[in-house]
Amino acid sequence: MGGGGTVGPVGIRLAALMVAAIALPRAVDAQVDAASRLAQVTLVARVAARASIESVSPTRETGRQGLLREASVTVRLSTNAGYRLAVLRTPTSGGPVTRVWVRAAGGGFQELAPGSSVTVAQDASPAGESEREVGYRIETENSVLELPVRYEIAVNPTI
């Protein structure tokens, strides 16, 4: 271990560094011009997709014909991605509302049976804050207009 004629791994590394140090200044000098030019850089920030229902207005009656009443509510949304808004009919136990129809995203009215849902709005692009008007037709004998529904919002998946 005390011999002076062998070169170990440390000696090989030192020799390689010395060779690089001698050759390096010329390589660096050749690239000074290229490194000093302006370069365009694009930064991309990714944020998790989110959507929330901020508020639902009280039900407003807009028309009446016999037992059939028309009404609407305004749903206020906050999103940063595409979304789908659905109305779900909650189970009722023989209450005053017998049938409910909701205006679907396509424009026509669809009946909401207890436990079923209808998509009432879709937006493929981020919308920020927005309001959606949801129209209903309700068959009821009650003078108080209470909709047996709840709202759900889902973020459209992005790939």
Q: Is residue 56 scored above 90 in pLDDT? A: yes
Same domain, 32 and 70: no
Same domain, 134 and 91: yes
Residue range of the domain that includes 96: 51-155
Same domain, 109 and 78: yes
Structural domain contains residue 42: no
* 134 neighbors 120 (Cβ within 8 angstroms): yes
pLDDT, average across residues 103-127? 90
Same domain, 65 and 32: no
Same domain, 132 and 84: yes
Same domain, 97 and 138: yes
Same domain, 74 and 144: yes
The pLDDT score that the predictor gives to residue 123 is: 86
User: Vertex 132, ends 47 and 123: CA angle to 5°?
Assistant: 45
- Amino acid (1-letter code) at residue 65: Q
Number of domains the chain contains: 2
Interval 69-105: pLDDT, tens: 999 999 999 998 889 999 999 886 556 677 899 999 9
Structural domain contains residue 23: yes
Structural domain contains residue 44: no
Residue with tokens 């005053």: 96
Q: Is residue 28 scored above 60 in pLDDT? A: no
Q: Return the higher-pLDDT residue of 152 and 12.
A: 152
Structural domain contains residue 91: yes
Structural domain contains residue 1: no
Same domain, 92 and 68: yes
Same domain, 56 and 86: yes
Same domain, 24 and 69: no
Q: How confident is the model at residue 30 (pLDDT cuts 50, 70, 90)?
A: low
User: Vertex 82, ends 80 and 86: CA angle to 5°?
Assistant: 110
Compute φ and ψ for 42, nearest 5 degrees: -110, 125
